[in-house]
Amino acid sequence: MPSVVILTAIRAEYKAVRAHLTNLQEETHPQGTIYERGKFTSNGKSWEVGIVEIGTGNSVASMEAERAIAYFKPSIVLFVGVAGGIKDVKLGDVVAATKVYGYESGKAELTFKSRPDVGLSAYNMIQRAKAEARKPDWQQRLTSSPNPSPDVLVAPIAAGEKVVASTQSSVWQFLRNNYGDAVAVEMEGRGLLQATHANQQVSALIIRGISDLIDGKSETDKAGWQEIAAHHASAFAFEILAKHDPTESNSSPNNKTSSNRSSQDDVLELLKEKRDYFQREKIITADPGRQFELQKKIEDIVRQIQELEQNEDYLLYEALLSLNYREQVEKFEKFWEEDTSRQVGSFLVWGKAASCQGWLLNRLLHKSFHDTIAAKKVRVFLSTYEESYIEDLWSKLSRELKTSANPQKLIDSIYDHWQNDTVIIVLHNLERMYPTEPKQLIEEFWNPLVKRVQKHRGSCSSYLVMFLVDNKGCAPKWEIDFATDTNKWETSQPFDLQQILEFSDGLLNTWVQKNRQLPNFPQNNEELKVLAKNFWEDSRGGIPELVMDKICQHCNSSLSNIIKLLEV
């Protein structure tokens, strides 16, 4: 079944897209992004559709698009949402973008000199959009017949980081003077096309409904035009999918590999079903001879499963474990090895967006806590789309621990678990909290918990470990006194494992040279240097998640597959 990913920025857009899908199931990316996967069927064709609400901004759109492409391996990526109309449009009209101007690119002198940064939608998608714009068929997907009837324009738009809310603003004047053919303005399209440009096998298109005409934005929002515009945009988007021939999508040499991988996944699933069936039969059968026969079958199937799971992906996984994060891993190991009597530790895992904090976190746990299978793992993901408060954290912890959303009740629950086994607490996306609230977390939850554990640690050998995960590099604003030296660390003091930085081109070159045994890696030193340089440049200067994603793609795998081998 062909696959498509649809990104949205806000809830109204997400709901409008979701309404067209059936068989919806929630899925969580290893890095924390929450998707829904559903099905869209029309004209005898079915599409598997992954949808996500990512929040606003070009940078987040680029990162989340890269992540979704690696996860779903789609042939098409759409951004469906709303925009402000600049010219030639009315409320409720739909715009399919032929290109997107990144209007904030330029040089600041006495006056700002623009240097147009342009992203192009896929040719085949533009042609399909033009064909459908000439026909009224898409309006049959609307729940009512609007008056006046909305038009569809296939034209350029502009994208930046600002909400443009007045035709008297300098930004609006700048857009009219420098990007005269742009009919609408939004905040995510250029980021999406940056991501799809680096993934040539994907066809991309941005589809926007006009929800305001710049002036009077607050009034049109209150009148419900965001919902109406999102409804119109999603109707047109799904009409394109209904009429689009999946074989028209961009192709690449990796498509055959993706098909092979899908077949391998099907075989793996079948083997697991057979294993489970034989295990159930072995439990209920009373015949010793039959039990022996079933055990042999189970052992053979388990061997086949291991061979499938630990082939090239496992080689790639082993190689990626040696790629950077050396400083953080060494600090973590030193913390526990320097004083073997330590049972308690809190650690800051942090860096800018797409630094693969989750990958590092799992590496640390496998390094030092690989044998704690029975450990109580408490994982909390704060929302990546809106600000969170300390009360949201208490509430999520309470659901994990099945107790009241009260710090003292949470401490009691953690303490009870700790008396029986190791407890590992992982708090993701803490950058979404107000800067003062992580300190409140330490003072109201962690410090009292550690104090209670320390009183009774002689009677219990379990560990208590907490990870504070910051995915945007906000930790320096938290006013927490992080320890950086194990010799000066105090028991309840969180330990800073050091900020994750971009991979250097030199580090990548060394790593590529050492791992030439990986699939599709050349053997010639000069070709390996070129490959390392391409990895570095295509990942925007060594952004960790993008580096690893590019490496996995080159090896006919995906980062999500590799992360599964390392998951907590």
pLDDT at 12 over 80: yes
pLDDT of the residue at 363: 82
CA dihedral 228, 221, 7, 320 (to 10 degrees): -170
Distance CA 147, CA 409 (A): 57
Domain at 326-496: CATH architecture: 3-Layer(aba) Sandwich (3.40)
Which of 189-198, 257-266, 413-422, 553-562 shows the lowest per-residue confidence on average (mean pLDDT)?
257-266
Band of residue 448 on the pLDDT scale cut at 50, 70, 90: very high
Which of 7-11, 319-323, 400-404, 408-412 shows the lowest per-residue confidence on average (mean pLDDT)?
319-323
pLDDT of the residue at 40: 94
% of the chain exceeding 90 in pLDDT: 57
pLDDT of the residue at 566: 61
Give CATH for domain 3-248. Answer: 3.40.50.1580
Distance CA 190, CA 545 (A): 20
Distance CA 377, CA 132 (A): 51
Residue 545 CB partners (closer than 8 Å, separation 6+): 31, 63, 66, 67, 354, 355, 356, 359, 559
Q: Which amino acid is at 564?
A: K
Band of residue 260 on the pLDDT scale cut at 50, 70, 90: very low
Band of residue 105 on the pLDDT scale cut at 50, 70, 90: low
Give the mean model confidence (pLDDT) for residues 534-541: 93
pLDDT at 18 over 70: yes
Band of residue 192 on the pLDDT scale cut at 50, 70, 90: very high
Q: Which amino acid is at 196?
A: T
Closest-CA residue to 390 (of 433, 423, 424): 433
pLDDT of the residue at 561: 77
Which of 5-14, 70-79, 354-363, 525-534 shows the lowest per-residue confidence on average (mean pLDDT)?
354-363
pLDDT at 251 over 70: no
Band of residue 256 on the pLDDT scale cut at 50, 70, 90: very low
pLDDT of the residue at 209: 97
Which of 202-211, 364-373, 459-468 shows the lowest per-residue confidence on average (mean pLDDT)?
364-373
Band of residue 309 on the pLDDT scale cut at 50, 70, 90: low
Distance CA 371, CA 227 (A): 51
pLDDT at 467 over 60: yes
**What average pLDDT is seen over the chain?**
87
Give the mean model confidence (pLDDT) for residues 89-97: 97
Give the mean model confidence (pLDDT) for residues 421-444: 94
Closest-CA residue to 384 (of 351, 425, 353, 358): 353
DSSP string for residues in 328-348: HHHHHHHHHHH-TT--EEEEE
Closest-CA residue to 264 (of 568, 561, 565): 561
Q: What is the largest CA-CA distance in the chain?
A: 90
CA angle 253, 257, 259 (to 5 degrees): 115
Band of residue 311 on the pLDDT scale cut at 50, 70, 90: low
Positive or negative, the Cα torsion across 307, 313, 317, 318? Answer: positive
pLDDT of the residue at 415: 94
Band of residue 534 on the pLDDT scale cut at 50, 70, 90: very high
pLDDT at 559 over 80: yes
% of the chain exceeding 70 in pLDDT: 89
pLDDT of the residue at 247: 58
Per-residue pLDDT tens over the stretch 110-138? 555 556 578 899 988 999 999 999 999 99
pLDDT of the residue at 67: 93
Higher-pLDDT residue of 234 and 312 is 234
Q: How many helices (H) and strands (E) does the chain have?
A: 20, 17
